[in-house]
């Protein structure tokens, strides 16, 4: 039909021209399409652990884009693109929706009760209606706010476009969502905001973990952050823990939670569940029992 011809026509010429002119624009239109279809986007989950017992201490949702032609694209590459081209609100909504649905599924199938942490971008906090969006998801999926944590980077909180993020963050914290500062120590050299803002947790950036235990400077920084956090009643998560030696250092220094390849890589849900069932036979039985009665 004429309609089909027309579509083929535009498919053949327009994107090809865009791509030649500007590969980024082609990627933006691909991302727009991915948001419509939904099936190229994935959330992977990376577990967090108590470093001495190995016990599960939380889970971070990490966004992935499986591009049909270019393969896996890292969030570090497409999230800035989404922000620049007005797609971040929609992408953020997709992540919140997907993570809440997954958390609800886990809660209903007898998986351990743990917080699923979501990364929140600057634009979601500045422009979006985050509070009501999150409240809507909680209601729809019958979740408690403690089951969904929000990770924000220092640069988000201190971005001057934002004006005062205090009230915005306080509203979320008052709703009961745990708040973590991501990439702590890399953003901005001010500690004053920790006093003003309702923060529950800091995530020590992996830049400070990488050269542990050899680096004296990093050892000192990590210990100082742990001491400060303890004095303020904040939890600390060490990011990017890759080796046994790093983990042991963090145990000795009194760090409560670690996240990194040493314990687990970010995994797709089926892989994660398989690991769970394998590592915790007691839980596996509980989970199977829950499934067979539902
Ligand atoms: P992030 O929130 O600091 O996430 C941690 C990053 O470190 C992840 O990279 C994770 O895969 C990686 N990582 C974890 N353990 C290790 C380790 O032991 N060694 C090393 N070398 N890396 C480790 P990823 O998934 O590429 O994400 C990069 C960043 O993209 C995230 O940093 C976060 O800022 C952003 N991001 C990811 N998903 C989302 C999302 O859904 N929304 C928003 N707004 N940002 C997201
Ligand atoms: Mg994060
Ligand atoms: Mg981080
Ligand atoms: Mg980081």
Mean pLDDT by 10 residues, the chain (294 residues): 41 48 84 91 97 96 95 93 92 96 94 94 82 95 98 77 76 96 81 86 96 97 96 96 98 98 96 81 46 46
Distance 181 CA to ligand 4 centre (A): 10
Pick the atom of ligand 1 nearest to 124's CA. Answer: 44
Residue nearest to atom 25 of ligand 1 (CA): 62
CB atoms within 10 A of CB 242: 15
pLDDT at 12: 43
- CA 68 to ligand 2 centroid distance, Å: 26
CA-only gyration radius of the chain, Å = 21
Ligand 1 centroid, distance to 183 Cα (angstroms): 10
> What DSSP assignment string belongs to 66-125?
EETTTEEE-HHHHHHHHHHTT-HHHHHHHHHHHHHHHHHHHHHTT----PEEEE--HHHH
Q: Which residues line ligand 1 (CB under 6 A)?
A: 46, 62-63, 74-76, 79, 95, 119, 121, 151, 182-183, 206, 239-242, 259-261, 266
Closest residue to atom 9 of ligand 1, CA basis: 62
What is the per-residue burial (b if ≥16 Cβ within 10 Å, else e) of 143-179?
Answer: bebebbbbbbbbebbebeeeeebeebbeebbeeebbb
Nearest atom, ligand 1, residue 92 CA: 42
The Cα 214–Cα 240 span in angstroms is 16
Q: DSSP class of residue 197?
A: S
Nearest CA to ligand 1 atom 4: 62
- What distance in Å separates the CA atoms of residue 219 and residue 48, rounded to the nearest whole number? 21
pLDDT at 286: 45
Ligand nearest to the CA of 64: 1
Alpha-carbon span 259 to 130, nearest angstrom: 26
Contacts of 252 (CB under 8 A, 6+ apart): none
Nearest to 97 by CA among 75, 70, 124: 124
pLDDT at 166: 80
DSSP classification of residue 258? E
Q: How far is the CA of 266 from the centre of ligand 1 (A)?
A: 9
What is the C-alpha to C-alpha distance for residues 51 and 214, in angstroms, rounded to an integer? Answer: 19
Pocket test residue of 62, 88, 260 for ligand 1, highest count of atoms within 8 A of CB = 62
Residues less than 5 Å from ion ligand 2, measured at CB: 119, 151, 182
Residue 157 CA to ligand 4 centre (angstroms): 15
State how far Cα 261 lies from the chain centre: 16
Kindly report the protein residue whose alpha carbon is nearest to atom 34 of ligand 1: 119
Nearest alpha-carbon partner for 91 in 73, 77, 78: 78
d(CA 43, CA 20): 31
pLDDT value of position 156: 73
Residue to probe by mutation, ligand 1, list 47, 60, 75, 76, most atoms within 8 Å of CB = 75
SS3 readout for 6-59:
HHHHHHHHHHHHHHHHCHHHHHHHHHHHHHHHCCCEEEEEEEEECCCCCCEEEE
* Predicted local confidence at residue 189, as pLDDT: 58
The C-alpha atoms of residue 244 and residue 82 are separated, in whole angstroms, by: 37
> In a 3-state reduction of DSSP, which class is residue 281?
helix
Protein residue whose Cα sits closest to atom 20 of ligand 1: 240
CA of 5 to the centre of ligand 1 (A): 43
225 vs 9: CA distance, rounded Å: 59
Q: Return d(Cα 187, Cα 210) in angstroms, integer.
A: 17
- Judged by its nearest atom, the ligand closest to the C-alpha of residue 46 is 1
How many angstroms separate the CA atoms of 276 and 104, rounded?
Answer: 17
Region of 204 on the Ramachandran plot (φ > 0 left; ψ -120 to 50 alpha; else beta): beta
46 and 267 Cβ atoms separated by less than 8 Å: yes
Phi (first) and psi of residue 146, to 5 degrees: -65, -15
Look at residue 188 in the predicted model and tell me its pLDDT. 66
């Amino acid at each position: 039909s004429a309609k089909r011809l027309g579509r083929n026509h535009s498919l053949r010429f327009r994107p090809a021209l865009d791509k030649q002119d500007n590969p980024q624009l082609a990627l933006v239109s691909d991302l727009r399409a991915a948001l419509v279809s939904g099936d190229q986007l994935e959330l992977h989950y990376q577990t967090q652990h108590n470093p001495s017992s190995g016990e599960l201490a939380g889970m971070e949702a990490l966004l992935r884009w499986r591009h049909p032609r270019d393969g896996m694209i890292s969030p570090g590459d497409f999230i800035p693109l989404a922000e620049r081209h007005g797609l971040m609100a929609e992408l953020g909504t997709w992540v919140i929706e997907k993570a809440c649905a997954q958390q609800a599924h886990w809660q209903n199938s007898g998986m351990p009760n743990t917080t699923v942490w979501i990364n929140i971008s600057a634009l979601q906090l500045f422009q979006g209606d985050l509070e009501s969006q999150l409240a809507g998801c909680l209601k729809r999926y019958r979740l408690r706010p403690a089951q969904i944590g929000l990770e924000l980077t220092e640069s988000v909180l201190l971005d001057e476009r934002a004006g005062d993020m205090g009230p915005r963050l306080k509203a979320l914290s008052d709703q009961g969502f745990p708040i973590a500062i991501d990439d702590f120590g890399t953003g901005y050299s001010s500690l004053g905001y920790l006093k003003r803002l309702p923060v529950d947790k800091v995530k020590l950036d992996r830049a400070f973990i990488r050269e542990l235990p050899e680096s004296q400077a990093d050892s000192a920084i990590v210990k100082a952050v742990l001491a400060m956090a303890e004095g303020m009643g904040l939890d600390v998560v060490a990011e990017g823990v890759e080796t046994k030696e790093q983990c042991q250092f963090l145990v000795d220094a009194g760090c409560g939670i670690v996240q990194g390849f040493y314990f687990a890589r970010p995994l797709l849900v089926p892989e994660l569940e398989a690991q769970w069932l394998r590592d915790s036979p007691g839980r596996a039985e509980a989970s199977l029992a829950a499934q067979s009665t539902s």
